[in-house]
Amino acid sequence: MLARRHDPIVAIATAPGRGAVGIVRVSGQQLVGFVRQLLGRDLQPRQAHYLPFNDGQGQPLDHGLALFFPGPHSYTGEDVLELQAHGGPVVLQLLLQRCLEVAQTVAPEGLPVLPHLRLAEPGEFTQRAFFNDKIDLAQAEAIADLIDASTAVAARSASRSLSGAFSQEISVLRDALIHLRMLVEATLDFPEEEIDFLQKADAWGQLHTLQGQLAQVLARTQQGALLREGIKVVIAGQPNAGKSSLLNALAGAELAIVTPIAGTTRDKVQETIQINGVPLHVIDTAGLRQSSDEVERIGIARAWEEIAQADAVLFLHDLTRSNAPEYEAADADIATVLAQKLPKNVPVLHIWNKEDIANTATAVPEATAGLRLSAKHGQGLDALRQRLLEIAGWQSAPEGLYIARARHVQALQATGEHLAQAHALLQTADPALDLLAEELRLAQHHLGAITGEFTSDDLLGVIFSSFCIGK
């Protein structure tokens, strides 16, 4: 895609399927002649024109609106033509094909009207907006996040990122970092000067302030990334502890089959739920036990695979069997394996289920280390939802929260590591200024990767390939 980014492109810009309106979008340099050949007339910039869209024999394919946006005052920064027709798949495909045909029509000067016009690849319109300095990389990603937003909180946060709220915070950090680099490199360039530039300019104080600002931005970015990415929560435990019932209760729908028969769940069942706008990817797994059934053994193996990749595990216990020696021993064995398979930073929340009938048990453990609930009747579910938000690290949504991605968090963390190295160098009696300058340069490099100032072509390809075609 990067190698052909100067070719004119065309695509259907609306979602597949039937709808009231569908849009075909063309972007490229100098589209005026193409527009005239396609529509039989010139268009006034940024004005809607109602007219027929004709085929090669002059017969209307459809009637609709045509809008022309001359560059650089357009979405991509190039000339952009939008044809708004009825939203039938066949109609839009005919318009798309017509655009490609007209592009190869020979103009009076003997050349094609629009050479090299081709179908756009995923995200290519937005990629051109990025290359033409209409938006930065963080804003480009926010466009995809706004389209994919599944909650009102996520949509508003993506809109703030698109408007440049996140980019502005990165810009403030970058400007402060550039100023600090200037001081250090000036000292390197003029070592014979008697004035200690770094001490006079309070370089240590500036760096300390910059680290504090970075920490605040990182905290908000982590919240924004959580809002977008969510966390993976796996429900684990012995058969018939109520795992499927708990998934159904959290999802508010009958997703998993629930029966009194042990081993009913043979494979994972996954559902994404929203709690205060935060997505949680909850996975119900097969009951953990020794089994001679080959299918069940495969399901149990898959359960352990999911557990090993979890961000949090809900270890479900059955209160009605809590005093049975065999049950307690099996729970202890599961706990031992969990401790072996899970990284130390992955929390395990103990859930004691069947509170509604627990009074029939001869002994009920004090569940001080977990939560008691009834997945069947909903008792204790609100407390569980709140605990899941705490595990995820979610705080009440701050005003002005912007959406972010895991790569943004990683870039800010890398920036912080280099600033910490720079801080350590400045605290020495005779700082190695060349090393200090390099740490600051690397910090700026990671910061610039967020907005696209320093970004590899490979990363750009990965980012934009996840967009829908026509955007």
Numbered residues of the known binding site for K(+): 240, 259, 261, 264
- The answer to whether the CB of 165 falls within 8 A of the CB of 399 is no
Binding-site members for Mg(2+) are: 244, 265
The phi, psi pair for 67, rounded to 5°, reads: -130, 135
- The answer to whether the CB of 187 falls within 8 A of the CB of 195 is no
Binding-site members for GTP are: 240-245, 259-265, 284-287
Of 113, 98, 1, nearest to 56 by C-alpha is: 98
4: Cα separation from own chain's centroid: 27
Binding-site members for (6S)-5-formyl-5,6,7,8-tetrahydrofolate are: 25, 82, 134, 471
220: Cα separation from own chain's centroid: 15
Task: Count Cβ neighbours within 10 Å for each residue of 155-184 and write b for 16 or more, e otherwise.
Answer: bbbbbbbbebbbbebbeebbebbeebbebb
Q: How far is CA 293 from CA 43, 85, 300, 301, 359, in A?
A: 71, 58, 10, 12, 34
Biggest distance spanned by C-alpha atoms of the chain: 95
Binding-site members are: 25, 82, 134, 240-245, 259-265, 284-287, 471
Residues in the chain: 471
